[in-house]
């Protein structure tokens, strides 16, 4: 009974060890996916924000673009450090396993050597026959014969066990060498990235110094841009309020508590419910790769702390010629030519509305039913900056939503 409990305890320890190894492997896989995503993000930032030196940037724009790359690079260094630290723990775990396997292998070889010596002393066929013939009864002879078979079988299993432990030891040694090589590679990569980051920060500090000299002028520029953005937001929200009023007028539902929400039929309610159930899983609103350069909400300017801005959606830099696409099934509510801006396409999904701003060459018309990922129009490229930026917004009735909560991996 005690022996049984001992083996159960050892089995539990072995299982726990295996689970820990699998857990670490899963964690390493997740970190590698994050690292690759960050490398891709940095590549996109370089391509979309630093693609040409021919385009003249304002100091403010250059500082903001550098800030995007610095943040992504800092995240890359952090994730790479986590990978290296995890590899250190895995290497230490493997070293402990190797020590344990070597001890087990030494014990097995010792037992096997003792069996070989014992077998050698009685290896002659004559001694085996005499061992059987010296039996006092047929039953004793039978038992001795069974013992000889069991002994031979045990000897064979011991040999197989030694081979298995030897192979495990070899594989662990190979894995250890691979882990050490990967760790060294990650550390070297991090060292190189850190050097680049230090240079980026140095360049940015020089630009920030020139910003500080004329802080008032740049603060005014930012506030003027915010006023322009606010004016566009008012146009968007006025259109949504008008659409809500029209939907309530058509249904005769003019109660005060209903005038700020869409009157929905059964089909629209189902569409809204499906939209809600896909929160966090919606595709990106562009056909080509992109990077978020301005997030949703109120933000303090990183270099001008006295200046705050508000973004009603997200701004995504993408490739020239990229198209905006519907993030979900719906109906084209409106195509609006915004004053002081380009065209915006509104898609209604029940009582949700997605807005795709800064488009040209529109491919849909008001009243069209659209499907998920259907192209809506081409994102406009700015002639001065060379950047191709779409602004994407989500509303539920008249309430703004944070697109990052809805779009997959935004």
Structure-model confidence comparison of residues 94 and 55, the more confident one = 94
Condensed to tens digits (0 to 9), the pLDDT of residues 121-138 reads 555 455 656 655 676 777
CA dihedral 56, 59, 63, 69 (to 10 degrees): 10
- 95 vs 107: CA distance, rounded Å: 19
- 169 vs 321: CA distance, rounded Å: 56
Condensed to tens digits (0 to 9), the pLDDT of residues 338-351 reads 887 899 999 999 99
The mean pLDDT value for 237-242 works out to: 94
Tell me the longest C-alpha to C-alpha distance in the chain: 114
User: What letter would DSSP give residue 380?
Assistant: P
pLDDT for residue 178 is more than 80:
yes
pLDDT for the residue numbered 7 = 42
- Closest CA relative to residue 370, chosen from 271, 288, 289: 271
pLDDT for the residue numbered 340 = 79
User: What letter would DSSP give residue 50?
Assistant: S
pLDDT for residue 256 is more than 70:
no
Condensed to tens digits (0 to 9), the pLDDT of residues 38-81 reads 999 999 898 888 875 555 567 888 888 899 999 999 999 999 99
Q: Which CATH architecture has domain 16-212?
A: Orthogonal Bundle (1.10)
The hierarchical CATH code for the domain 215-405 is 2.70.70.10
Contact 165, 104 (CB under 8 A): yes
- 329 vs 273: CA distance, rounded Å: 12
- 121 vs 194: CA distance, rounded Å: 68
Enumerate the domain spans of the chain: 16-212, 215-405
Gyration radius of the chain's alpha carbons: 35
Count Cβ atoms within 10 A of the Cβ of residue 178 and give its class: 0-12 exposed, 13-18 middle, 19 or more buried: exposed
pTM: 0.70
What are all long-range contacts of 18-23, with beta carbons under 8 Å and residues at least 24 apart? 20/93, 21/90, 21/93
pLDDT for residue 250 is more than 70:
yes
């Amino acid at each position: 009974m005690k022996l049984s409990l001992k083996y159960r305890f050892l089995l539990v320890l072995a299982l726990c060890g295996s689970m820990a190894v699998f857990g670490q492997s899963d964690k390493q896989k997740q970190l590698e996916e994050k690292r690759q995503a960050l490398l891709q993000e940095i590549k996109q930032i370089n391509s979309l924000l630093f693609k040409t030196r021919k385009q003249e940037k304002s100091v403010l724009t250059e500082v903001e673009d550098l800030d995007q790359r610095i943040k992504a690079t800092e995240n890359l260094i952090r994730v790479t450090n986590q990978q290296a630290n995890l590899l250190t723990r895995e290497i230490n775990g493997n070293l402990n396993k190797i020590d344990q396997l070597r001890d087990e292998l030494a014990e097995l070889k010792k037992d096997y050597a003792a069996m070989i010596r014992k077998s050698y002393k009685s290896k002659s066929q004559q001694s085996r026959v005499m061992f059987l013939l010296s039996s006092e009864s047929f039953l004793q002879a039978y038992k001795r014969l069974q013992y000889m078979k069991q002994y031979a079988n045990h000897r064979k299993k011991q040999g197989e066990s030694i081979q298995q432990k030897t192979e495990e030891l070899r594989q662990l040694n190979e894995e250890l060498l691979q882990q050490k090589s990967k760790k060294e590679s990650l550390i070297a990569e991090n060292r190189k990235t850190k050097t680049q980051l230090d240079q980026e920060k140095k360049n940015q500090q020089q630009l920030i110094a020139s910003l500080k000299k004329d802080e008032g002028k740049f603060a005014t520029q930012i506030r003027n841009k915010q006023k322009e953005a606010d004016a566009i937001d008012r146009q968007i929200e006025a259109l949504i309020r008008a659409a809500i009023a029209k939907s309530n007028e058509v249904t005769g539902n003019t109660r005060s508590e209903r005038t700020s929400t869409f009157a929905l039929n059964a089909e629209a309610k189902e569409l809204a419910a499906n939209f809600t159930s896909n929160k966090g899983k919606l595709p990106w609103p562009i056909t080509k790769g992109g990077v978020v350069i301005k997030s949703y909400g109120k933000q303090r300017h990183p270099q001008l702390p006295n200046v705050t801005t508000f973004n009603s959606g997200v701004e995504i830099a993408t490739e020239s010629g990229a198209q905006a696409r519907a993030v979900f099934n719906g109906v084209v509510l409106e195509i609006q030519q915004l004053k002081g801006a380009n065209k915006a396409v509104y898609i209604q999904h029940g009582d949700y509305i997605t807005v795709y701003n800064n488009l040209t060459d529109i491919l849909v018309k008001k009243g069209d039913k659209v499907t998920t990922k259907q192209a809506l129009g081409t994102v406009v490229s700015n002639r001065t900056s060379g950047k191709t930026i779409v602004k994407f917004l989500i509303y539920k009735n008249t309430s703004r939503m944070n697109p990052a909560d809805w779009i997959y991996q935004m």
